Amino acid sequence: MKLLLVFVTVAVSFTSCKRDEIRPHSRQSTAMETYVSVTTYDGNLSQHDAYALIDSAFAEVNRIEHVMTDYSESSEIGTINRKAGADTVSVSDEVVSLLQASLSFSQQSAGAFDVSIGAIVKAWDFLSSEPEVPSRSKIRMVLRLTGFKNVMVEGTKVFLTEKGMRLDLGGIAKGYAVDRAVEILKRNGVKHAIVDIGGNLGVWWEGTRGVDSTVAEILVRHPRKDGKYFGSLKVGTAGVSTSGDYQRYFFHDGVRYHHIIDPATGYPARDVVSVTIIANDALNADALSTLVFVLGREKGMNFIKDREGVEGIIVWEEEGVLHHELSPGLQGKFTRSDD
């Protein structure tokens, strides 16, 4: 079992700025079961002010973790889970809008993305020190406790229709937290910053946008070589997120079992090894990287192509060799570096 806690490297190339405008201040922490890194690049900020703002961004991430975690029985999500099949729970507008966004991703993907995946994720227990492959009967049982159509949201009231059902926002909450952290920096006048929660990045660079800008060079982790990079691409203001089968996994009888589950089968999605999504914000990038991973190579790439403002890199493995495909908007903009 392996939980990746190594920082993703983001090199900032500053093509559009003068050197003295971009003095970086950076702090790292851990939250949401992974690393958090916040960097401001503003020549006008004193170290003291930059660190104070970075700490406010961390505080926001911690606040969101306390609301969204399904590990605590008393968080809003924990309460919904505890009352599954029994009671309706009143929640904050924030939880409602994140759930509604999640359900919309489920509808768009015929359930490939599903925040009601919690019972299945719990059965696999990837965070345990000795995870095991659940029995087929266990998988059959938890499959019956999964299904976004059984998540009822009306106004601010939420109800899971089956006892034992569980929400798990692991595929979307980090991206949401990244956006909120970026928002705090922005609101306080920061003009350039990068927030990274476990490979979900928010790049904020005033006056730039998406893959047509080239301020921040994002190094995409190599799916099969620790500490190495698969390639790089340059972006301006955007959300960039990678979902990979190497982030939380274990081997059993030579088979890799990882944390991105196909809700149709209850087993890890098998078609690809990593998906990187570039979207307008980190929430979309996070949810879509998980969603496209589950859809697989062909359906996943079609899904990306159908969406305005979304680009992606899909990596798959054939007989030990990695192959990749870029969405049309990334052609000529991604440099592969592993060979």
Which residues contact Mg ion by CB under 5 A? 171, 286, 289-290
> What are the beta bridge partners of residue 312?
277
Residue 42 binds which of Mg ion, ligand AMP, none (CB < 5-8 A, kind-dependent) = none
**In the complex, what is the shortest distance from the CB of residue 296 to ligand AMP, in angstroms, rounded to a whole number?**
12
Q: Is 202 in the site for ligand AMP (CB under 6 A)?
A: no
Nearer to ligand AMP, 45 or 95 (CB): 95
Residue nearest to Mg ion (CB): 290
**In the complex, what is the shortest distance from the CB of residue 127 to Mg ion, in angstroms, rounded to a whole number?**
16
Q: Kindly provide the residue ranges of all beta strands, DSSP E only, lying in the chain, ordered along the sequence.
A: 2-3, 10-12, 24-31, 34-41, 89-90, 151-154, 157-160, 192-197, 200-205, 216-221, 229-235, 238-244, 248-252, 255-258, 274-279, 311-318, 321-326, 334-336
Q: How crowded is residue 268: how many other Cβ atoms within 10 Å of its Cβ?
A: 19
Binding mask 96-125 for ligand AMP (x = CB under 6 A): -----------------xxx-x---x----
* Pairing relationship of beta strands 255-258 and 274-279 according to DSSP bridges: unpaired
Nearer to ligand AMP, 17 or 219 (CB): 219
End-to-end alpha carbon distance in the chain: 28
* Rounded-to-integer distance, Cα 34 and Cα 32, Å: 6
* Rounded-to-integer distance, Cα 104 and Cα 115, Å: 11
* Rounded-to-integer distance, Cα 277 and Cα 313, Å: 7
Binding residues for ligand AMP, rule CB under 6 A, total: 18
Nearer to ligand AMP, 22 or 277 (CB): 277
* Rounded-to-integer distance, Cα 332 and Cα 234, Å: 11
**In the complex, what is the shortest distance from the CB of residue 265 to ligand AMP, in angstroms, rounded to a whole number?**
10
Contacts for 48 with CB less than 8 Å, ≥ 6 apart: none
Binding mask 248-287 for ligand AMP (x = CB under 6 A): -----------xxx-x----------------------x-
Identify the residue among 78, 147, 171, 223 touching ligand AMP (CB under 6 A).
171
* Rounded-to-integer distance, Cα 322 and Cα 159, Å: 43
Q: Is 324 in the site for ligand AMP (CB under 6 A)?
A: no
Nearer to ligand AMP, 216 or 260 (CB): 260
Q: Is 168 in the site for ligand AMP (CB under 6 A)?
A: yes
**In the complex, what is the shortest distance from the CB of residue 260 to ligand AMP, in angstroms, rounded to a whole number?**
5
Residue 276 binds which of ligand AMP, Mg ion, none (CB < 5-8 A, kind-dependent) = none
Which amino acid is it at 305?
A: K
Residue pair 76/42 in contact by the 8 Å Cβ criterion: no
Identify the residue among 98, 294, 301, 315 touching ligand AMP (CB under 6 A).
294
* Rounded-to-integer distance, Cα 315 and Cα 328, Å: 15
Nearest to 258 by CA among 221, 290, 303, 304: 290
Residue nearest to ligand AMP (CB): 170
**In the complex, what is the shortest distance from the CB of residue 286 to Mg ion, in angstroms, rounded to a whole number?**
4
**In the complex, what is the shortest distance from the CB of residue 266 to ligand AMP, in angstroms, rounded to a whole number?**
10
Residues that bind ligand AMP (CB under 6 A): 113-115, 117, 121, 168, 170-171, 243, 247, 259-261, 263, 286, 289-290, 294
